[in-house]
Every structure is written in C-alpha cells, then in structure tokens.
Amino acid sequence: MRKPKLVSFVLLLLALTFAQPTTLAQRKSPKAKTTNTAATASARGADQITAAQLKDYLSFIASDEMEGRDTPSRGLDTTARFLAMNLSRWGLKPAGDDGYFQRITLVRNQLDAPATHAEINGQRFNFGEDFLPNAVGATLEGPLVYVGHGWVIKSKDIDAYKGIDVKDKIVVVFGEGLPKGVSQADLKGTRGEDWANPAMYAQRHGAKGVLAIPDFSMLLNWDRTRQRATTRGTTVVEKFQTQTNPAMPSVWLSLRMATALFQGEKFEATNLLNRGILGEAVEPFELSAGKKVGFTIAVKTEKIPTQNVVAIFEGSDPVLKSEYVALGAHYDHVGIGVPLNGDAIYNGADDDGSGTTALLAMAEALAHAKTRPKRSVLFVWHAGEEKGLWGSRYFTEYPTIPLDRIVTQLNIDMIGRSKKEGDTNPRNRDLAGANQIYVIGSKMMSTELGELTDTVNKTYLNLEYNYRYDDPADPNRFFFRSDHYNYARKGIPIVFFFDGVHEDYHRPGDSPDKIDYPKMEKITRTIYMTLWEVANRPLRPKVDKQLPAELTNR
C-alpha cells in the first residue's frame, strides 16, 4: 500500500519542479515589461520632469511680477527672456529670426478722445458718455439703414438685408451678439460667405460703418469698454493688417444717443430695443433722408514689438534630424484687468503657464537625457494666443524652418488643474479629474497618430484620456481656440491636451497655488514620451483623413 503513494509523491514533485520556471516567468513578465518601460523613460530623461521642478518654473512665469503676460507687455517680454536664458543654458539651438526670438511687429490704434465727437441734427454728443467707437479712424456721414440684428446665417435661413443695398450707407443694428435662438454651432461653413456678422457684411458690401443700439450686455460692459478704448486701444499684427481689408468703423450708442437718432422715425429707439430683446423681427428700413448724422473718430497709432520664442533640439539620425516634432504652448495671458476681490492681475497659471512650463521642463529633460531622439524637436512658445492665435498664425505663415518638415504638432494649453472630490461648483463641472486629461484632434487627421497617442499612454502612466471634445460639432469650438488650429489648417497632424474650463478661467484666481503639480507631472511626462515615439518612428505619421469641413474655417 505504501509504494504507490511514494511513486505518486515523486511524480508530483517532478511536475512541480518542471512547472516552476514557467510559472515564475509568467509572473515576472508584466514586471519585466514595466521595468523596461521605466528604463526607457529614464534613458530618455522623463524622470527628470518633476512636480517640484514644474512648481518652481511656474511660480516665476505666473507670478504677479509678470503682470499677467498680456500681448504686448513688459511681463511677456520678461517671460520670453527667461525662456531664452534657460534654453541657452541647456544648449538648445536658437531658431527664431533674432536668436531665440521670432520678431512680430504689432500696430496699436488708440482713440484720441478729445478729437473724437459726434452730432445728430446739430446736437453734439461726447465720446465715452454717449458713444464708444472702435479704434478705426474715420469720418462717418451719409444715409442710414436699420437692419435689426444685422446677421447673415445661411444654415438658419437668416438674412437681415433682404431687399436692402448698404453700399455707401451707415448700417444701424441692435446689439452685437448672435440673434435669439442661434448659437456658435450654427455658424457653419465659410466665414463671410455662409455666415457673416454685421461688421463683416457691412464691410464686404461697401457700407461706411456700423452703429449699434445697446443691448443689456453692452450696457453692462460700457465702463470696461470705455477704459480699454482709452488705455489699451486696439492692437493688430502689422502683417495681418496688410493681408485683409481695413477694419470697419463700429460705434456703440448710448440709449440717449439712440433715442436722438430714431426720433421721428417709424420706430422709436425704445420700441426697437424691446423688439430686439424679445427677438422679434423688424423689416429693414431707411432712416429719414433729411437727418444729419456725423461722427469724427480720431486715432493715434504706434508700432510695438513682441515675439514668439523658438528653439530646436537637434535629432541624432543623419537623415531624420531634418524633420521635426513640434511642441507648442502659448506663453501669454490676458494681463491686468478689472479687479475681483481686490486682485487685478490675471496670472494665467493654468492658462497657459502650465503649458509654457511643461515645454520648458521637456527642453531641460532632452538636454540631460542619456540618448537623443532621431528626429529634431521644435519648441515654439506662441505670443498673442489670447488675442486670436496671433503667434501660431504668424509662425505658420512666416515659418523659421520649412513647414513641410514638421511631422506632428503637440499643443499644450491648460494641463494644471483638476476637479476635487465633492466639488459641486457648476463652473468646475467640466474640469478634468486628477488622473484625466481631454485629448482633442489626435484622430482627426491621422489614424496612426491617434493609435500611437493612445498606446504610449496605456503602456506608460495610463492616464484617463477623455475624447469628449474630439468632435467637429463640439459647441464649445475648442478645436478653434488654441494654437494647434493653425498647424492643422496647414495639413500638419496635431494633438491638443487640455484640462477643461474652470472657475478661474480668465480670472485673477488662476494662480500657481491652485495647480495640481503631481497631475501636471504625469501629463508632461506622458506628452514627453509621446514626442519620443513620434520622433523615433521610421516614417512620419500618415495623414489619411481630411480635416473635417466644419473645422477648416475659424
């Protein structure tokens, strides 16, 4: 009876002995893969990007001393010099047209208040109190025509000008916003052809200018607009100004002045105001031919310099180093504004101090990495994003390197804030969580780039990539609202990383102390590893899709 038991025991022991290596190998396999990923990330310098480092840089970039980094401003210029100083220390190659700087000339038009005035039938009206013009020098005289809200939107079958010729006339509209029942999502197709706002339509059809009866929003912002008109004026990029038609003179009227303008007409100003508020249509009509209306808008002009900051980390491959993976962030914000709780400096720590800092940390990591990527890495800190994507438009229209050599552009705009547990603030409703980031555009032009972006994340730190806004029909229009847009319209596949709008968006509360630095570290490291994967691929990501038609016109 004992012998069979002994044989069975020996056979069982042998089976376990031979099975053990396979079992251990199976257990070690995931760990080995993780170790290999960690070793690769370390060799590439990813572990040099730390929360403490990011906090140090951002605390300077978004400090009160930078005065909100408006474009143009002293604070923006100081930030540019800070970026350039560090890039020089780390040995990155200057790639602007003036060292690390790509110079941009701005033209600032500022109203000359004492020389700006208006009259209606001999009654004089004062700038600031009675009317607020934009900073476009002009003398406005001539016949007037009222056209309601003044919009043309073909997708909604809206045309405020049916049967009306506005050539050589002054157009009068109600308010400045979209017509009632219309949203930004309804502005489909080509700007100026499929839809046009009052000033755009008036300009294209030969009108002399636009006068606006004030709605509630205009009255609410009257004092702020008057202050900006007299202290900041209107600033444009000089080269953009010469590419388009001159701006259209547009004037907000006070209720007092609007009342005088419509005195004796078929509709009084208050009647038009009430109808406008209710969204009731009023057929266009010309004002009395005998009414004498004249505006003199005087403007002072000056030229001001600003800059993009541009640098290259050269790749290691003799052939591929002539191609670039582009990293972008805007280093400007909105400057000094209306005080809230006694604070007038809009620091822009998240928007986009976080992206600015992430790029800086990645430049430092590359400089100290044990190996180099095969392709070169192009860093561009864009100015003037908050003014209408100025810096990225300028770089893509006047590039300092051949634009067709850029294989991908990774744009970082707001990656530092996270929604806390139990946060019920409705303004934080769409803010990304502590392990989450919104990813936009990665799959819109290149299937391959979308798959690569996903794979790098899942095999590295495994953040939650939220594709909620990766939608051509996104009513927020986030695809249009940051610098990647200007690269995409040039046919360059892009990825946009974004944490969502929050309670301090464009407010003084967007300060460095509210940043989630551990989250920012994870996102920055993940983007950094993404650039490496793109840089080391034998072929550039294939563009196999056209940019959706609704995303081709801003």
Q: Kindly report, residue by residue over 211-222, the tens digit of the pLDDT.
A: 999 888 888 889
If one counts every other C-beta atom within 10 angstroms of the C-beta of residue 231, the result is 9
Contact 440, 498 (CB under 8 A): yes
Residues 6+ apart with CB under 8 A from 129: 254
The CA distance from 520 to 322, in Å, is 31
Q: CA 203 from chain center: how many Å?
A: 26
pLDDT value of position 246:
65
Q: Note the pTM of the prediction, 2 decimals.
A: 0.84
User: Could you read off the pLDDT tens digit of each residue along the chain, which spans 554 residues?
Assistant: 333 333 343 333 334 333 433 333 333 333 434 345 889 999 999 999 999 999 999 999 999 999 999 999 999 999 999 999 999 999 999 999 999 999 999 999 999 999 999 999 999 999 999 999 998 999 999 999 999 999 999 999 999 998 899 999 999 999 888 998 898 878 887 888 889 999 999 999 999 999 999 888 888 889 888 887 877 788 999 999 866 556 889 999 999 999 999 999 988 888 887 887 777 878 889 999 888 999 999 999 999 999 999 999 999 999 999 999 999 999 999 999 889 999 999 999 999 999 999 999 999 999 999 999 999 999 999 999 999 999 999 999 999 999 999 999 999 999 999 999 999 999 999 999 999 999 999 999 999 999 999 999 999 999 999 999 999 889 899 999 999 999 999 999 999 999 999 999 999 999 999 999 999 999 999 999 999 999 999 999 999 998 887 777 76
Residues 6+ apart with CB under 8 A from 33: none
Task: List the one residue out of 410, 359, 480, 418 whose CA is nearest residue 79.
Answer: 359
CA distances from 42 to 32, 38, 212 (A): 15, 6, 60
Backbone angles phi, psi at 337, to 5 degrees: -135, -155
Per-residue model confidence (pLDDT) at position 370: 95
* Distance from C-alpha of 427 to C-alpha of 157, rounded to nearest angstrom: 34
| Predicted local distance difference test score (pLDDT) of residue 184 | 80
Q: What's the pLDDT at 169?
A: 96
Rg (CA), the chain: 29
Task: Decide if 377 contacts 310 (C-beta within 8 A).
Answer: no
Strands 376-382 and 158-159: unpaired
Q: Are 375 and 317 in contact (CB under 8 A)?
A: yes
Q: How far apart (Å, rounded) are the C-alpha atoms in residues 3 and 409? A: 74
- Bridge-based pairing of strands 144-146 and 131-133 is unpaired
Amino acid at 432: A
Q: Count of CB atoms within 10 A of residue 230's CB?
A: 17
Q: Are strands 494-498 and 406-412 parallel, antiparallel or unpaired?
A: parallel
Q: What is the pLDDT of residue 245?
A: 58
Structure tokens at 57: 């840089």
SS3 of 276-328 = HHHCCCCCCEECCCCCCEEEEECEEEEEEEEEEEEEEECCCCCCHHHCEEEEE
